[in-house]
Each structure stands twice: as structure tokens, then as C-alpha cells.
Amino acid sequence: MSPEEARDVRAQAERGDAEALATTAMFAALGAFEPQDWRSAAVRLGLAAEAGSPAAAGQLRVLADGRDAPYADLAQAIDWTAWLASPPKSRISADPRVAVSTSFLAPLACQWVIERARGRVSRALVFEPASGDFRTEPGRTNSAFSFAFEDMDVVTAAIRARIAAALSVPAGALEPAQVLHYAPGEQFDRHFDFLDPAEPGFAAEIERGGQRIATLLVYLNHGFEGGETDFPRLSIRYKGAAGDALMFSNVDAAGAPDRRTLHAGLPPTTGEKWLLSQWIRDRALG
């Protein structure tokens, strides 16, 4: 979105347009086109909900932990300290670093993310090492949806801020978040998340946006069998409950690619698996 388009949205919001008010709430949450202000974002969501925006009303309910109250009261009831805090973590590997945070997201937030992606996923792509272009690959058969700026809202902005706090990185170092969907039998075969500087396409991407130093996955649902995240070189196979997060470094202490972090998204044998996938760079993206 350009600054001119943002000004038009603000003008519509000032005239009381419900969806424009919800969009300016997202601006405030992300610090886009204005300073970041979570409380202002919540107030604008309340105004948008009162003006008739179902999406704003839904976001308020998620952010206020499902409370039932007038929209203005819900906006004031959001516990931003809890939302934006670094959650407790349990280490399952010290070197390389792999940790788990149980109940990283509440059920309502998980379901919100799933519904934002439902019907919008398409065949997941991978980087082509030589060129840096995207392509399909036989070893990756799952589907994905990536949140562009226009797809963001206050809930997804708060989730990204929570991820940044969990990993002690600036929010600007987070790539666009992706929602991953695995139907029975679909997988992401063994791969690395770091960008290999020996490959021309990856080297160019590192120069542009930095190394992909860490990954955080949030398990968004239950009701499927199989579907673990497998680290064959670490003898770790993990499957979280809905809302649990798995986080791991992709580089070693010196910042070099760590090939021990080879991992795979194993296929569910029954049911469907939904994940929120967040890659983190070593510097803020432009």
C-alpha cells in the first residue's frame, strides 16, 4: 500500500467507514504510516465494530480472550502486556537451540489464523538455489498462504509481535508469516531453513535481506495423526498441541548455517494439519 492509498483509507475512516477504521487499526498495530500504538489500534477496532465490521468484532473477541461485552469495553479489556510478553519456553536441545512454548497462542487466536487462510492456500513453493526464484518441488506437497501487508490485521500483528518477543528480535526481522496446510499424505521433505551462501540465488537473497537465522512454528489445530516435525540429525520428533510453538535456530553460534538443523514436516496419516510458520532474518527487512 502506498502512502497515498493510506491517506485515502484514513479519510474514509474519518467519515466513519467501518472497514477503513479496521484498516487504520492495523496501521496503528504495525506502526505503518504512523507510530505504533496498540491501545489506539484497539480503540479503532471498537469503532469499526460499532460501525458494522464483522472482522473488527471478531478481532476484538480474539484479543480479549473471548469476553462478551460492548465493543468499547472489549477494546479496553485487552491485556496487551500478556499479548506482547515473551512466553515461557522449555529447551529440548541446547546446541543447536530448539525450544518449545506450550499454549503460545490461545484457541481463539489459532482458529482466527486458520480461518484467515482457509480457501486461500495454494501449492507451497521453495527457493530455487541457483536463481533465487520460487518453484514447486516434488518433496514439498503441502499448501501455503503468505500474509501480504494488505492481509494483515490487529490479531496477526499481535501474533508477530509475540513471536518477536519470544525470540528477542525486532519485529522488522520477521518475514511475512505463512499458514501451512497439510492434507493426509502431504509433506515437506527433509530441508534446511537457512539460506546457503554457496548458492548464487541464496547469496543474493542474503545480501538483500540477511540470513534466515531462526524458525518458529505454531501448531494451530489438533485432530490429526502423524504430522510431526522431524529433526533426523538431532533424534528429535515433535508434535505440538493446538497453540504450542516450536522454535529453533538455523545457524550456529558464529552465524554460519547449521546442517544439524535438517528437518522435515512429516505427512499426517489422517486429518488435516495447520501450522503458522515464521522465518526470522538476522536484520530488519527493507
For 25-42, the pLDDT digits (tens) are: 999 999 999 999 999 999
Which three cell numbers, joined as nine digits, stand for 250? 538455523
Distance CA 184, CA 224 (A): 9
The candidate with the shortest Cα–Cα distance to 277, out of 234, 218, 193, is: 218
Distance CA 26, CA 41 (A): 7
| Confidence label for 133 from pLDDT (cuts 50, 70 and 90) | confident
Q: Where are the domains of the chain?
A: 3-81, 90-281
Q: CA-based angle 283:285:286, to the nearest 5?
A: 130
pTM of this structure: 0.95
- Return the pLDDT at 221: 98
Helix (H) or strand (E) holding 26: helix 18-30
The candidate with the shortest Cα–Cα distance to 191, out of 207, 202, 203, is: 202
Q: What is the dihedral of CA 48, 49, 54, 60, to 10 degrees?
A: 110
User: Considering just the CA atoms, what is the radius of gyration of the chain in Å?
Assistant: 19
Residue-by-residue DSSP string for 84-114: TSPPP-EEEETTTTEEEETTSS-HHHHHHHH
> pLDDT tens for residues 44-80?
999 999 999 999 999 999 999 999 899 999 999 999 9
For residue 85, pLDDT over 70 is answered with yes
Average pLDDT over residues 230-253: 97
Average pLDDT over residues 104-126: 96
- Return the pLDDT at 129: 82
Beta bridge partners of 100: 90, 246
For residue 208, pLDDT over 70 is answered with yes
Average pLDDT over residues 5-21: 95
In the numeric block, the cell 509481535 is attached to: 161
> pLDDT tens for residues 179-201?
999 999 999 999 999 999 999 99
- Return the pLDDT at 286: 61
DSSP letter (8 states) at residue 276: E
For residue 253, pLDDT over 80 is answered with yes
Q: What is the dihedral of CA 192, 177, 169, 208, to 10 degrees?
A: 70
Statement: 90-281 belongs to CATH 2.60.120.620: yes
Distance from the first to the final alpha carbon of the chain = 15
Distance CA 77, CA 70 (A): 10
Q: Cβ of 105: how many Cβ atoms within 10 Å?
A: 26
Which three cell numbers, joined as nine digits, stand for 229? 516435525
173 neighbors 286 (Cβ within 8 angstroms): no
